[in-house]
Amino acid sequence: MRIVAVEELTVDMELAREVLDPDTGRILLGAGTRGLPHYADRLRSMDVHYLYVADDVARDLAIPATIAEETRICAEQALDRIFEKCELDQQPDYQPIKQTVRVLIRKVLDNREMLVNVCEMQCCGGDFLSHSVNVAVLSLLLAKRLGYDADKMQKLGMGALLHDIGVAGMPHSLLKKRQEFTAEEKLLYEQHAVIGYYRVKENWEVSPLSRSVLLCHHERSDGSGYPRRLLKGDIHEFSRIVGLVDCLEELAGGHPFSRRLSIQEALETMNGKARDWFDLELVKLFIDCIPACPTGTTVRLNDGRKAVVLAQNKGFPLRPVVRIFEDATGKRVAPGQEVDLLQLNHLVIM
Ligand SMILES: [Fe+2]
């Protein structure tokens, strides 16, 4: 299978991995569905932007999921119950969410490649449930790289999963807004850090370190963040991790007041901000977890040919193994020629 943008679906493709409704977990399109271009508008309206498809280009390719779709849906549902209680100004039961974090940790520890398939991160702007689950998974992957023990991972995971609960109860018109916020709206939105913190402040089920993530995940190393304009040395590592991951996920997911970027654009933006906003070492470690050209995606080479990424070359993110399927004139060629870009220096990905 390979990963194809909804705009590039063609009639010869067959759905290789089912598409689930992010709200209900119900199957929207089952594996094996054909005539995919017919569903393009509907998928886009539901903020589904990539599909796993099978066609002659890469029918034999298996793409491992970072976490299974069922796990993601269960985590979102558990978090939804917390958001619902918060919206009603009631005290949620955090016990189920602790169990959710335990499951996510197990899945992350099982991910032997420790690579994130960012194409799974199909979160839409203003969808705080899928955003929060993405942030938790990515934070835990980074924690694994840092060698965190189970206790630290649990506390970080709780903070990451709950980091935006302060937005529960804020006007939907604000949370779903895709244009830039006015100064007043920005001020209102920024209150979510303090609101979230006060929601868990007295709750013994959420540890003080997890709570601090809710308060400090928008603080930046140079003191330009909010709410307290802390400097790097005063921001706990948990908040620096979640702040960094949250920022990338927002850039790639198209969160309020930002255009949706490609993962390459998002990573470049992160790199540019690394010195001022984030911990440089954490940024490096994080970028290392994300393949610049994820397995199954399409790339264009400098000679104009198009290819699908088959495998990564560890330590060389821009030189994967690829399979050519389109020539420089845009004509489909019988796929089969496999090229290891590590061996052929004259070929580069554009
Ligand atoms: Fe936030």
pLDDT band at 254; cut points 50, 70, 90: low
Q: In the prediction, which pLDDT does 124 show?
A: 44
**pLDDT of residue 257 exceeding 60:** no
Residue 162 Cα, ligand 1 centroid: separation in angstroms? 10
Q: How far is Cα 62 from Cα 157, in angstroms, rounded to an integer?
A: 29
Query: Minimum mean pLDDT among 66-80, 151-165, 187-201, 258-272: which range?
Result: 258-272
Tracing tokens 């420790």 back to the chain, one arrives at 114
Tell me: the pLDDT tens digits for 298-335? 999 999 999 999 988 877 878 999 999 999 998 988 87
Residue 332 Cα, ligand 1 centroid: separation in angstroms? 44
Q: In the prediction, which pLDDT does 307 show?
A: 94
Q: In the prediction, which pLDDT does 19 show?
A: 84
Residue 148 Cα, ligand 1 centroid: separation in angstroms? 23
The residue with greater pLDDT, 290 or 133, is 133
* Percent of the chain's residues with pLDDT above 90: 51
pLDDT band at 151; cut points 50, 70, 90: very high
Q: Which helix (H) or strand (E) holds 141?
A: helix 128-145
Q: How far is Cα 75 from Cα 132, in angstroms, rounded to an integer?
A: 9
Tracing tokens 């949620």 back to the chain, one arrives at 92
Residue 127 Cα, ligand 1 centroid: separation in angstroms? 12
pLDDT band at 123; cut points 50, 70, 90: very low
Please state which architecture CATH assigns to domain 2-54. Alpha-Beta Complex (3.90)
Mean pLDDT value of segment 193-219:
95
Asked if the domains at 2-54 and 69-289 fall in one CATH topology, the answer is: no
- What is the CATH code of the structural domain delimited by 69-289? 1.10.3210.10
Residue 79 Cα, ligand 1 centroid: separation in angstroms? 15
**pLDDT of residue 255 exceeding 70:** no
Domain boundaries, the chain: 2-54, 69-289, 298-340
3-state secondary structure of 219: coil
The residue with greater pLDDT, 119 or 103, is 103
Mean pLDDT value of segment 6-32:
84
Mean pLDDT value of segment 114-136:
68
Cβ-Cβ contacts under 8 Å for 177 (sequence gap 6 or more): 126, 185, 256, 257
Q: How far is Cα 139 from Cα 158, in angstroms, rounded to an integer?
A: 10
Q: In the prediction, which pLDDT does 322 show?
A: 95
Mean pLDDT value of segment 182-202:
94
Q: In the prediction, which pLDDT does 264 show?
A: 65
Question: With contact defined as beta carbons under 8 Å apart, do 268 and 34 qualify?
Answer: no
pLDDT band at 148; cut points 50, 70, 90: very high
Tracing tokens 């140079």 back to the chain, one arrives at 222
Q: At what angle do helices 237-253 and 128-145 cross, to 10 degrees?
A: 130
Mean pLDDT value of segment 245-252:
80
Q: In the prediction, which pLDDT does 126 show?
A: 53
Question: With contact defined as beta carbons under 8 Å apart, do 312 and 267 qualify?
Answer: no
Tell me: the pLDDT tens digits for 87-114? 999 999 999 999 999 999 998 888 766 5
Question: With contact defined as beta carbons under 8 Å apart, do 328 and 304 qualify?
Answer: yes
Q: In the prediction, which pLDDT does 115 show?
A: 58
For the chain, what is the mean pLDDT? 86
- DSSP string of 159-170? HHHHTTGGGTTS
Residue 216 Cα, ligand 1 centroid: separation in angstroms? 9
Q: In the prediction, which pLDDT does 237 show?
A: 96
Residue 294 Cα, ligand 1 centroid: separation in angstroms? 27
CA dihedral 320, 326, 327, 332 (to 10 degrees): 160
Beta-bridge partner residues of 308 = 298, 323
Mean pLDDT value of segment 167-191:
87
Q: Which long-range contacts (CB under 8 A, 24 or more apart) does 346-349 make?
A: 347/301, 347/302, 347/303, 348/301, 348/302, 348/318, 349/293, 349/299, 349/300, 349/301, 349/302, 349/318
CA dihedral 232, 104, 189, 284 (to 10 degrees): 30
Residue 166 Cα, ligand 1 centroid: separation in angstroms? 8
Q: Which helix (H) or strand (E) holds 281?
A: helix 280-289
Residue 164 Cα, ligand 1 centroid: separation in angstroms? 5
**Separation of CA 87 from chain center:** 25
Question: With contact defined as beta carbons under 8 Å apart, do 324 and 337 qualify?
Answer: yes
